[in-house]
Structure 1
């Protein structure tokens, strides 16, 4: 496990994952390259330390940060990269700049070594961790959800990890991914994965997709970070 700026990451092997969308009844297979993914969602303490925001109250430091937009998460990734001396993964246009470098004025430099959001395929590949069912273990053992959370978020790492050592992949907070949800229907809405502390058990499954506008801040939405792994010899 690698630890940088308090962010613990674990290596993920390459693989193949089949994504599906219940609304459209569509499925598609994606090849996933090796990468590194944070073992935990970003915590309130980590988010405050990197962004300069006020520190959370005592006892809440290890809770996942929530109420952050997709654009907030993108900015955090770049700030963390700068702090670590890495090349930022994102080029971000000023808010409201219609001539930005990509959707929502954000362009991803896939060759950069800095921190970024996982793709949707990387997220599901990581969540499943080689398992085949809807969850990587009994839900009460691995996730905080409506049935056991007391309708509030909990400190990260309080449930059992999946076989690859990743915690809270299901439950606690939904997690932003890089991908657009369905641009033909929902425009710039981005993908959320994993289910949260207020969700019923059926929303806490590896395949479940949710969407939100990239500027919206919702009280059960957070994120975790990833890094690309360059092939040997590059």
Structure 2
């Protein structure tokens, strides 16, 4: 069926054409691009997070597998340090033992009759120095660092000699003998008190002195000098 519009042109309905604003088109395109970029960045970040999680998991597995080795190494390090400390202590004790053996042999050779010794001891200077450091540092500031510092003891150290004698002449003879020794210096009689020992009168005495370790070192490490005879050279 064919329809013919017989109305004049001025009365005919005109169709309105569609018009699009270019600004809105550009804005929509920009918004789409922004969404695309955001989606791409989000995907990239997620991939980075996944890779980091994988690396963290791998590192944790490696750490767990190495914990036994780390504990073994720490144990061996502690054992080595303890052994070195013990060896150092043994060396010091061995050196001091040699000193005291020589000093006690010299002292025993000067003990007269009717006299015997009950105590020969050296003042613990290391303990005294530690107490002085503690008194000067009441709050224990830096105490760990102070404890690791090795204390160098002097070569002349205070000592005490105690004993009993039946006569004052024996004590006087012993004092004279100790004064002649090269290992003892600054000898002083602290007291001589009469006491009863098993119904016998005896004198308890105490002598303060200074032990000179330099004398032992000079004697121990004195180089041997060989003297050649003129007759032997001929």
Q: TM-score, normalised by structure 2?
A: 0.22
Name the larger-Rg structure: 2
Structure with greater proportional helix content: 2
